[in-house]
Structure 1
């Protein structure tokens, strides 16, 4: 079952964005970039490192470097379930 973004954030996940620089398979002197984004757990980042391992095992373009950032957008203490709403004019 796929969890939605709010459920992941309440469980401590944050949005991890990685920019991968890799060498073109046929032109080793040419660098290209690939952007990867997923909800992941800091500081271990298991999904990011699993993707990097997959890249190294399955993709021909060898990685030159990886730059990433992690943003925890919501914690369990910051979220409130709103039951009602009223409008004031």
Structure 2
């Protein structure tokens, strides 16, 4: 069932979103650590990523330094190509 729901999300306009989260190490605040997060989400508000970042701020010790987001639409409409010339050959 999960595959069907993910496919439906893709048809509804969800995108594959990848976020690189740089955060400070709790024991060594001058060091930055990188965490890669990836899921299906809706641009431009990114509610799924927002929930994850809220969880991070509420439950984890490493404060977030920055978040870089990349997105790609997995399923998109086909391009329509118009023919300029039509002929019949015998």
Q: Under TM normalisation by the shorter chain, which class is it?
A: 0.7 to 0.9
State whether structure 2 residue 31 is matched by structure 1 residue 5. no
SS of 1:19's partner is: strand
Return the alpha-carbon distance in structure 1 between the equivalents of residues 59 and 41 of structure 2.
22
Long gaps (5+) in structure 2: 79-90
> Highest Rg: 1 or 2?
2
- What's 1:68 paired with? 69
- Aligned pairs for 1:69-84 within 5 A: 69-75=70-76, 77-78=77-78
Q: Render the CA deviation track for 1:31-75: whole Å, top value 9, x for unaligned.
A: 000000000011110000111111000000000000011111213
Give the alignment's TM-score, normalised by structure 2: 0.78
Q: Distance in 1 between matches of 2:20 and 2:69?
A: 6
Give the TM-score normalised by structure 1.
0.79
After TM superposition, the structure 1 = structure 2 runs for residues 1-89 of structure 1, keeping only pairs within 5 Å, are: 2=2, 3-75=4-76, 77-78=77-78
Question: CA shift at 1:4, angstroms?
Answer: 4.4
Supply the RMSD in Å over aligned alpha carbons. Answer: 1.4
